[in-house]
Amino acid sequence: MQKRLLGKNGLEVSALGFGCMGMSFGYGPPKDTQEMITMLRTAVDRGITFFDTAEVYGPFTNEELVGEALAPVRDQVVIATKFGFDTSVDPRSTAGGGPVLNSRPEHIKEVAEASLKRLRTDVIDLFYQHRVDPDVPIEDVAGAVKDLIQEGKVKYFGLSEAGIQTVRRAHAVQAVACVQNEYSLWFRRPEEGLLQTLEELGIGLVPYSPLGKGFLTGKIGGDATFESNDFRSVLPRFAPDAIKANQGLVDLLGSIATEKNATPAQVALAWLLAQKTWIVPIPGTTRLERLEENIGAVAVDLTTDDLYKIETAANRITVQGNRYPEKLEQMTGR
């Protein structure tokens, strides 16, 4: 597995990471713990060194899973987790049914202590603010993480779904190693200034949902339905009409995949890897064959002509449907 650097301060990870959320949260009922432990350890055996979780995934259960799975190989891996939500508040009890943000410095430090225990480690390699809290100055957030770094409890600071000015302000207080934002062929907003800012500042990008929450694999048809415990059931982009309207993107990936003797998912990941050398996608899976498929994307060589062809064709496709309900969309890009 190739390696890539996130930021200027030495955070080196595998070119492809692993998003662990779906093992215990978001995509239906939690999967079998022992099977997921085996999956994560197999990923390490295959060369993946970068694993992403968060306290809110579950909540807590995903961190516990990752901690148990990676404890025997802790010195070989980079574990990223996140703070920024108030997990004591049931989202169903709030106006609009959305989660409650909390990035007060004292809360950040409490979350760090709890995450360290669940992850069975004495240091968090990468600590992200999960969503920007408009009630707490980002300088205070960065300062709290800086304290944790100085105490040896955290190694690197990250931001998730942060806007450009927030990134600049945070970086001025404590170096930001990377920003984790959604980015793929079906969501390209980071190209509207964020990528340029990250390049200027020497900050890496970690695209989550690099396969469009499964859509870009070509396995989700227009008649797809989702259970109530699968969060895609409330995402506008997964409504039947939107799935059918966006099929052209999957068809494009399929045509390139045929030429490359690859799969649509591999082409989608290879496209991301080809954008910048400091981009590290974190696809998630609960199936071994999908893990092998994702890893195979690193070997897919997209030429300049291939990239031009994809770009030209993608520019003719207007993706339909918002990616989140309004309440969650308002938490991005701040």
Question: What is the DSSP code (8-state) at residue 121?
Answer: -
Distances in whole angstroms, Cα of residue 320 to Cα of each of 176, 185, 210, 246, 323: 33, 13, 17, 6, 9
Read off the pLDDT of each residue in 130-140 and give the average, rounded to a whole number. Answer: 98
The whole-chain average pLDDT of the chain stands at: 96
Region 66-89: mean pLDDT is 97
Q: CA 32, CA 45: separation in Å to the nearest integer?
A: 20
CA-based radius of gyration for the chain: 19
User: Would you call 76 exposed, middle or buried from its count of C-beta atoms within 10 A (0-12, 13-18, 19+)?
Assistant: exposed
Mean pLDDT of 39-60: 98
Length of the chain: 334
pLDDT over 90 at 98, yes or no? no
Q: Which whole number is the average pLDDT over 283-302?
A: 97
> Contact 289/34 with Cβ under 8 angstroms?
no
Q: Residue 295, Cα to own-chain centre: how many angstroms?
A: 16
Location of structure tokens 């793929």: 184
Q: Are 91 and 122 within 8 A, CB to CB? A: no
Mean pLDDT, rounded, for 145-168: 98
What is the percentage of the chain residues whose pLDDT exceeds 70? 99
The residue annotated as part of the active site, out of 27, 57, 156, 208, is: 57
Given this model, what pLDDT does residue 89 score? Answer: 86
Per DSSP, 18 falls in state: E
- Label residue 99 by pLDDT band (50, 70, 90): confident
Give residue 187's pLDDT. Answer: 96
Domains of the chain: 3-215+276-299 (3.20.20.100)
Q: Does residue 96 carry a pLDDT above 70?
A: no
101 pairs with which residues across the strands? 85
| 57 assigned to active site | yes
Decide: 235 and 323 in contact? Cβ < 8 Å: yes
Question: Over the stretch 262-289, which tens digit does the pLDDT of each residue have?
Answer: 999 999 999 999 999 999 999 999 999 9
Q: Give the whole-angstrom CA distance, residue 177 versus residue 18.
A: 18
